[in-house]
Amino acid sequence: MMVYKVACVGFGSANMLFIAYMASVAPSLLQQTVIIDPYFDNGALQRSWPRVRSNTTWEQFINSLRRFKATAAYAEQIAETHPQDEPTYLHVLAKSLREAISPYLRKIHTIKGHVCQLNNEEVVVSIKYKKSNGTEHIIQAEKVIFSPGSIPKTMSHSLPTIPFHVALDSRQLGDYVSPGERVVLFGLAHSGVLIIKNLVESQCFVSAVYNTEKPFLYARDGEYDGIKQDAAQIADDITAGKLENIELISWSSGEDVQDALLRADWVVYSIGFENNTPVLINNQSARNYEPEKALIAPNIYGFGIAYPSFSEVNGRKFWDVSIPSFTDHILNTNILSTVSSE
């Protein structure tokens, strides 16, 4: 059986950035690398929330690409044609990232499949995956980069739930809700604020529940991970009374939350993400993780929204989830530094 030097599980933003890194520091590994993903459609930014405008600007995206030798020329090329201080649609970011790495992608072996198990053997990791026809296969690699993405968290209220990706897409949302219906929204970070606007445009009445000191925490006020770009504008409009049919309820007012739920037709959760990995690692669920080394198990590394780095601000821990922070994480851990010299 051929042993790959590197196997990337998942083809979303994180592993696309990892390929940019590999092409920069150890290009000879590209031919001995495999990527496994069931879709190869550029991950969640393309598949799940393509019509959402990013909370990062073109400049932040381009600066991430500038940090890799392999994508620096592409970064300069697109820097000339895009408005640096503006955001863009998430599907555009996903496509641009893929375009940036496309010369290197051609050198890499790709497998359409769903990885279900990773096992450390003596010096290799064995990777079991399923194809869409149900057949199971095993390959081996010296190092695995496991970046399978995450799924939105939910709670268990008995009301019908609007899926998070539907709430973020005003066209799909109109197929779920009818004008005049009442919706309870949990979570007022970036995505939650965008969802309020979509609900109001669908003529719903929104009860928006927040669990922070104030409904809106802004990046411009120095809040780490505070809302910015479109979300900050919408929050300003809500505060100024320009958007109607919204009530803001603190999670600590239990009776108000209960009352809103009793009156509602729908609920939508925008309360963060959780690991979506029924993948077994050494016969256990993939829970262990050392962010500083990006290490999940020997020779198994994790990046992206499922395995991010974190920042500590005033004693609080914030998971860093964005293309610029994935770039930092990949460059800081520099896990190919040993492989490239072999």
Residues forming contacts to ligand FAD in the complex (CB under 6 A) are 9-15, 36-39, 43-45, 49, 52, 54-56, 90, 114-115, 147-149, 191, 279, 304-306, 321-323
Please work out, in degrees rounded to the nearest 5, the angle formed at the alpha carbon of residue 109 by the alpha carbons of 304 and 17: 25
Of residues 158 and 284, the one with the C-beta less far from ligand FAD:
284
CB of 322 to ligand FAD, least distance (A): 3
Strand, coil or helix: what is 154?
coil
Of residues 56 and 299, the one with the C-beta less far from ligand FAD:
56
Of residues 89 and 250, the one with the C-beta less far from ligand FAD:
89
- Report d(CA 318, CA 108) in Å as an integer: 34
Of residues 49 and 216, the one with the C-beta less far from ligand FAD:
49
Could you tell me the two tokens for 82? 């895009």
Q: What are phi and psi of 338, to 5 degrees?
A: -85, -40
Of residues 41 and 256, the one with the C-beta less far from ligand FAD:
41
- Residue number with the shortest CB distance to ligand FAD? 12
Q: Which residues pair with 130 in a beta bridge?
A: 114, 136
**Count of CB atoms situated within 10 Å of the CB of 14:** 28
Q: What are phi and psi of 186, to 5 degrees?
A: -100, 125
Could you tell me the two tokens for 277? 């990995």
Of residues 37 and 225, the one with the C-beta less far from ligand FAD:
37
Helices (H) and strands (E) in the chain, counts: 11, 20
Of residues 39 and 251, the one with the C-beta less far from ligand FAD:
39
Could you tell me the two tokens for 126? 């064995």
Please report which helix (H) or strand (E) contains residue 285, including its range.
Answer: strand 284-285
CB of 258 to ligand FAD, least distance (A): 28
CB of 65 to ligand FAD, least distance (A): 12
CB of 341 to ligand FAD, least distance (A): 27
CB of 252 to ligand FAD, least distance (A): 26
CB of 147 to ligand FAD, least distance (A): 5
CB of 231 to ligand FAD, least distance (A): 10
CB of 184 to ligand FAD, least distance (A): 19
Of residues 144 and 238, the one with the C-beta less far from ligand FAD:
144
- Report d(CA 39, CA 152) in Å as an integer: 19
Maximum pairwise Cα distance, the chain: 65
- Report d(CA 32, CA 106) in Å as an integer: 12
- Report d(CA 342, CA 123) in Å as an integer: 14
Strand, coil or helix: what is 145?
strand
